[in-house]
Structure 1
Amino acid sequence: MIKRKKPGSFSSEAVVLADRKTKQLCKRLGSEHIALIDHADVDEMAAGSLLDTGVQTVINLSPYMTGQYPAEGARRLLAAGVRLYEIPANYDNPSMIDQLNGCQASLTNSQLRFSTTQGVETIIPLQMVTTEHIQAKWTEANVTLDETLSLFIDNTLQYASREKDLFLKPLCQLDLRTRMENRHVVVVVRGKHYREDLQTLHAYIREYRPILIGVDGGADALIQAGYIPDLIVGDMDSISDKALMCGAEIVVHAFSDGRAPGRWRVSDLGLDYHLLPAPGTSEDVAMLLAYENNAELIVTIGTHTNMIDFLEKGRKGMASTLLVRTKIGTKLIDAKGVNQLYQPRWSWKLWGWCIAAMLTPITAALMINPVARHVAQMLWTQWRTWAF
């Protein structure tokens, strides 16, 4: 319940839901809750997930923007009218996530009050995050962007040098029922603008019938757009049970040493799966899998391709992606590139439907209008006289 006291004053009472992983929290978050996250430099995708839940108040144990790079999340949340708060840096309580999760609390004028299981009332001071605060951090981030880029490049090249032999070797061979040889393959990741790109490629997908690979939550993205994935690849940490049970073939991405926490989730659902140990990210593995199964063309949607994308994912470099894209580059194209190059082909069937659509109103007019019907009968009589 939200109460307005006077201008500049705000009060609300609600259940707090908390999680150290924002994407996990969003699965159970609703508009009636207060969200408690621990997410430095909130990215655009996380902000979008929070907005989808309808939540109106978000408290962050970490800074919404540290100033290291221009993260978009806080700006997007503020623009949507969401109230943002941070815990002061001098208030250190590592167990706060566990203490507050599921707890009834009241938020009044930048103070969060709740009672512990022992009945002790606790007051946590909050700092309200304003547009001016985020704009100042945004300016700071742009000033330091060149230094951040330099460190990012150094890290990328260092790890690329160490890991290049891993990516030169072929992946473990899997006995897949999904045949990709000489087929177009679309790899969908739930990254920036994936919804728009899927909509843009609707005509292309309808005509070419490509193999559809969903990378973790990318499988949910395909289902939401009205498609059924042929293959699901990932560590299974951000995909729904509904998507896992859609009938697609499942490839669980494991660490190079064989560890795969996601396999237990698939096993618990009673589903068959393939285990694929490989370095790099799951989207890298999905592209490599299509390449090594002799796909004719690999189209990517929502994949991470630049420094900001990777910093938002908490990765300080993009060595694996650089190596994979270098290896398969001749067959790789971004969704926006397909939209620019692809033109729908006109078929005789389509022409037939167009002609039928044009003739239908003309025929109806001839049948209804007596003058038009009389003229048509005269023309028919004249034609028969001439023909015979």
Structure 2
Amino acid sequence: MKMSGLLNRRSQDLAGVVGTVRRIEPGTPVPKRLGAKDVAVLDLNRAPVETARALVEAEVAAVVHVPAPGEEMLPRAAFRTLAASTVPVIEDADLADVADGTRVRIDDGVIYSVKSEDELAGGREVGAATLLAEVDSAEKNYVESALAHLANATEFLSLEHPLLLDGEGLPEIDVDFTDRHVVVVTGDASSRAQLAELKPFIREYRPLLVGVDGGAELLRSTRVTADVVVATPTEVSDEVLTDGAVLVVPADRDGRAEGLEKITELGVGATTFPAAATARDMALLLAYHGGAEMIVVTGDDRGLENAFRPASAPSSTMVDTTVSSRLVHAHACATLYRSRGSGIGLALIVLAALVAVGAVVVARDAAQDLLLWAIETWNSFALWVQGLVH
């Protein structure tokens, strides 16, 4: 007997379900060919109910819920849809090191390699009743977190509404934001990839660059010079502080700021910003009240999935609302820029085609006919390009 046949029979004899790992990233559709021989691995906290329905219809072998590190369950309808089905749902299984396409066997929540029978991850299979109870608990926790967060945000508003509405208390710095594009780079884990996506945008528009805490280190590591750094001096390197950027040091409302001794030792100038806000929020307010035309910010988005997490600052809820008319998330900006670039590329291709057609016309028609054709075609082409750009 061939070895492959022996392995297949052995896998079939063992308990549990067997399938191929298929990772589904947030915001991407369920693969059309997904079926009973696949194990769907995804973050159900980011999955719409349509994704869950597609998984049920595909009759996948199992669904493995892999949330972001440290993230609790959200009361998403996707969980309820799966609870009402016969598809096994596995939780608490760390599949970070398991590649897409790996053949696995799942028995009692534990995930094994079909090839070696090694244990890849220890999880737990949750039944319908348990899953529904978890969702009910998540819903209660979510609402309680939201109420506490909004209460703190309201308190921040009562303290800082002069700053939010009129910019009272903003430090005066030697940077002119008026009618400029501004990119605020935070120290969030997602900022590095987003900054890479923004490089074409930065090259063309030459925006003012503001590094916030670890975001200032990130800019320096990518050999990009920050115009402004908003950071606690002890949280960034000496090189960041001495690179020539305008330094803004966050301070408490009473004016106390951490790390000013380091600034003094390095012999560089800095301005303190007293406010009950985060460094990120201070950067946004500096750009907004400074007259920036558009503010692009990197980092985790502040949708409902993230808005009420313990790590989400209540001040950011009010600051983001204040600057919302000019605020664009980095991923959205990069996506729009790519679309614009694609349109211009297409326009150049069409122009080249028009030139080729013109050459044919030269060979066949009289000069007067060519001139009329060229004027007419160019006018239509120019109007079309204007539509792409605007």
Equivalent position of 1:79 in the other structure = 96
**What are the residue-to-residue correspondences of 1:150-161 with 2, within 5 Å?**
150-161=143-154
Structure 1 residues 151, 182: closer, same or farther in 2, change over 3 A?
same
Equivalent position of 2:233 in the other structure = 236
Output the amino acid matched with 1:79: A
Which segment drifts farther, 199-208 or 166-175? 166-175
* Equivalent-residue separation in structure 1 for 2:181 and 2:280 (angstroms): 17
1:132 equivalent among 122, 126, 137: 122
Structure 1 residues 306, 238: closer, same or farther in 2, change over 3 A?
farther
**What are the residue-to-residue correspondences of 1:1-388 with 2, within 5 Å?**
68=72, 79-80=96-97, 131-132=121-122, 144-169=137-162, 170-303=167-300, 305-306=302-303, 314-315=310-311, 318-342=313-337, 343-344=340-341
Equivalent position of 1:90 in the other structure = none
Structure 1 residues 263, 145: closer, same or farther in 2, change over 3 A?
farther
* Equivalent-residue separation in structure 2 for 1:228 and 1:66 (angstroms): 33
Q: Deviations over 1:68-125 (max 9, x none)?
A: 558xxxx8987359xxxxxxxxxxxxxxxxxxxxxxxxxxxxxxxxxxxxxxxxxxxx
Secondary structure of 1:163's aligned partner: helix
Structure 1 residues 268, 145: closer, same or farther in 2, change over 3 A?
farther
Secondary structure of 2:248's aligned partner: strand
Structure 2: runs of 5 or more not aligned = 1-67, 75-91, 99-119, 353-390
How many percent of aligned residue pairs carry the same amino acid? 29
Equivalent position of 2:77 in the other structure = none
Output the amino acid matched with 1:338: C
Q: Deviations over 1:33-53 (max 9, x none)?
A: xxxxxxxxxxxxxxxxxxxxx
Structure 1 residues 301, 340: closer, same or farther in 2, change over 3 A?
same
Give the drift of 1:275: 0.6
* Equivalent-residue separation in structure 1 for 2:94 and 2:297 (angstroms): 27
Give the drift of 1:284: 0.8
* Equivalent-residue separation in structure 1 for 2:228 and 2:168 (angstroms): 16
How high is the TM-score relative to the length of structure 2? 0.52
Structure 1 residues 344, 68: closer, same or farther in 2, change over 3 A?
closer
* Equivalent-residue separation in structure 1 for 2:258 and 2:147 (angstroms): 31
* Equivalent-residue separation in structure 2 for 1:195 and 1:232 (angstroms): 17
How high is the TM-score relative to the length of structure 1? 0.52
Give the drift of 1:143: 6.6
* Equivalent-residue separation in structure 1 for 2:247 and 2:124 (angstroms): 41
* Equivalent-residue separation in structure 2 for 1:212 and 1:141 (angstroms): 43
Structure 1 residues 265, 149: closer, same or farther in 2, change over 3 A?
farther
Structure 1 residues 163, 335: closer, same or farther in 2, change over 3 A?
same
Q: Deviations over 1:270-312 (max 9, x none)?
A: 2210011011211011101110111111000115625765777
Secondary structure of 1:201's aligned partner: helix
Give the drift of 1:192: 3.4
Equivalent position of 1:127 in the other structure = none
Structure 1 residues 268, 310: closer, same or farther in 2, change over 3 A?
farther
Contact kept, 8 Å, 1:290 with 1:298, in 2: the verdict is yes
| Paired residues, number | 233
Structure 1 residues 171, 229: closer, same or farther in 2, change over 3 A?
farther
Give the drift of 1:148: 2.6
Secondary structure of 1:212's aligned partner: strand
